[in-house]
């Protein structure tokens, strides 16, 4: 069965996305989403606060006025969703977030003063994102304090993208208006599935009405873009039930829809142990749900951006894709060029120059470090020249579905067929199956291959290849 339907918008250039269950069965495998390369599992604790300070000083020396991106991780949630794989703190005690915000402010001050002691000379901020956890766990005065502190530390550009993840269960229209007045202009709303049986199985009871209130309030308050998150493959999910959810979500007309695949790995994520294994949909149903989702989103006019993301043709993500101006970062796809990212709060991951850096994961460690006036970075990675070249190749494939070999060679001073001889060889079976086309001028991910772009990208991941080779080697002996 090959579903033909995935309409593209007027501004997009590509032919319809082909959904081929046979190819998906053959090639879909667990693997990185490449929001970074190298991926976070490569970060190591030999990289610590001193290395992060060096990266900040290098930026101060060489790129002091380049725009910045900011991320703040707000870890608190009221209740536990059983599918959750995020770093969060479940609590009903709202007093805990006030303390947390004070410590985030300390971390912001330390980083900002290393970058540039004079606040008036600091680089403009192009992008801000609050994620979690549940950022809307914060009380209004806490949110005002946090955003005020960020703005005092770093000047926001007039056209800055300021986005927030919202849990509609705890937010009313007034709160959305408040968020708009605080400067947020993009919003991401968790939905997952409206089917009551699924909601019960994952412990996330959320009405359509609550969701509609948030989406409509975002529109009424001038938010530029509204995203909704859906998850397929959840317990008790059925094709018919998810079809009804899709219709209800499409009726809300969000600008973007993220459709994530649920990975049930209870040995890695403790909350998932609360999900009954017998409630999990069989693989064939999961694939049928995905096929249905693609068909319905296509008929509704959504453009496939890549990986799990869909957007209306007029949305800035779809326009950026059509103009080949898409980028990939920790939030997924982005329209902003590759900014340095300063990340604050527990477990937050930042990127400065050729380094990635991640903060400690627990509140106690975070508070202890900041009490000692130390940066809470606990691991990271210093990218090699090879990492930078491969990161660019992976970005081009993930964002443009195409890698122009001459342009790539001139950017990096490499002879592509020589530098990537092994990768070109490894692409051959994928080319034989029609996922990619490879010639002397370019590597192009075909319409059949676009849903499997990460399989193509994985071939360029040297670390993954080495890890797999090591695993095979240890099995042999």
The binding site for ligand SF4 (CB under 6 A) comprises 77, 80-81, 84, 86, 88, 132-134, 167
Nearest approach in angstroms of CB 200 to ligand SF4 is 15
The residue (of 169 and 462) whose beta carbon lies closer to ligand SF4 is 169
> Is 231 in contact with 245 (CB distance < 8 Å)?
no
The residue (of 84 and 457) whose beta carbon lies closer to ligand SF4 is 84
Nearest approach in angstroms of CB 44 to ligand SF4 is 26
The residue (of 171 and 257) whose beta carbon lies closer to ligand SF4 is 171
Q: In what order do the strands lie in the sheet with 340-344?
A: 303-306, 309-311, 256-261, 225-232, 186-192, 156-166, 125-132, 68-74, 340-344, 349-352, 355-359, 377-382
Nearest approach in angstroms of CB 70 to ligand SF4 is 20
The residue (of 32 and 132) whose beta carbon lies closer to ligand SF4 is 132
Nearest approach in angstroms of CB 248 to ligand SF4 is 20
Nearest approach in angstroms of CB 388 to ligand SF4 is 32
List b or e across 343-368, with b for residues whose CB sees 16 or more CB atoms inside 10 angstroms: bbbbbbbbbbeebbbbbbeebeebbe
Nearest approach in angstroms of CB 234 to ligand SF4 is 11
Nearest approach in angstroms of CB 100 to ligand SF4 is 15
The residue (of 165 and 423) whose beta carbon lies closer to ligand SF4 is 165
The residue (of 69 and 134) whose beta carbon lies closer to ligand SF4 is 134
The residue (of 7 and 90) whose beta carbon lies closer to ligand SF4 is 90
Nearest approach in angstroms of CB 85 to ligand SF4 is 8
Report which of 216, 395, 227 is spatially closest to residue 310, judged by C-alpha positions.
Answer: 227
């Amino acid at each position: 069965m090959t579903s033909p339907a995935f309409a593209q918008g007027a501004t997009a250039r590509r032919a319809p996305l082909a959904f081929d269950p046979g190819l998906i069965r053959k090639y879909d495998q667990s693997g990185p989403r490449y929001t970074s390369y190298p991926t976070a599992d490569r970060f190591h604790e030999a990289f610590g606060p001193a290395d992060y300070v060096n990266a900040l000083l290098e930026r101060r020396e060489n790129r002091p006025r380049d725009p910045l991106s900011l991320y703040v991780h707000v870890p608190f949630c009221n209740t536990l969703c059983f599918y959750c794989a995020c770093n969060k703190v479940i609590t009903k005690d709202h007093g805990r977030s006030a303390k947390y915000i004070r410590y985030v402010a300390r971390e912001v001050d330390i980083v900002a003063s290393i970058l540039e002691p004079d606040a008036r000379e600091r680089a403009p901020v192009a992008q801000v994102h609050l994620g979690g956890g549940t950022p809307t766990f914060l009380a209004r005065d806490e949110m005002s304090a946090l955003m005020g502190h960020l703005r005092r530390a770093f000047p926001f550009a007039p056209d800055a993208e300021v986005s927030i993840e919202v849990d509609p269960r705890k937010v009313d229209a007034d709160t959305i208006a408040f968020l708009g007045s605080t400067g947020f202009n993009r919003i991401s709303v968790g939905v997952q599935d409206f089917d009551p049986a699924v909601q019960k199985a994952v412990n996330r009871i959320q009405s359509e009405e609550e969701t509609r209130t948030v989406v409509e309030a975002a529109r009424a308050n001038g938010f530029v873009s509204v995203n909704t998150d859906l998850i397929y493959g959840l317990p008790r999910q059925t094709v018919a039930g998810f079809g009804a959810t899709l219709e209800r979500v499409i009726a809300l007309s969000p600008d973007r829809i993220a459709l994530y695949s649920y990975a049930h790995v209870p040995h890695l994520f403790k909350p998932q142990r609360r999900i009954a294994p017998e409630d999990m949909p069989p693989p064939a149903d999961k694939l049928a749900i995905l096929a249905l989702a693609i068909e319905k989103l296509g008929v509704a006019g959504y453009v496939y951006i890549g990986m799990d993301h869909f957007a209306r043709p007029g949305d800035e993500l779809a326009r950026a894709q059509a103009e080949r101006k898409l980028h990939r970062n920790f939030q997924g796809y982005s329209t902003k060029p590759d900014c340095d990212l300063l990340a604050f709060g527990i477990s937050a991951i930042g990127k400065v120059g050729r380094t990635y850096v991640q903060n400690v994961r627990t509140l106690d460690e975070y508070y202890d470090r900041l009490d000692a006036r130390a940066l809470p970075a606990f691991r990271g990675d210093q990218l090699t020249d090879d990492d930078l070249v491969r990161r660019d190749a992976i970005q081009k494939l993930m964002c443009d579905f195409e890698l122009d070999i001459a342009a790539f060679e001139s950017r990096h001073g490499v002879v592509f067929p020589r530098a990537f001889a092994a990768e070109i060889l490894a692409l051959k079976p994928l080319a034989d199956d029609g996922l990619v086309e490879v010639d002397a001028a370019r590597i192009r991910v075909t319409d059949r291959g676009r849903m499997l772009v990460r399989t193509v990208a994985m071939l360029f991941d040297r670390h993954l290849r080495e890890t797999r080779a090591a695993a095979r080697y240890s099995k042999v002996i």
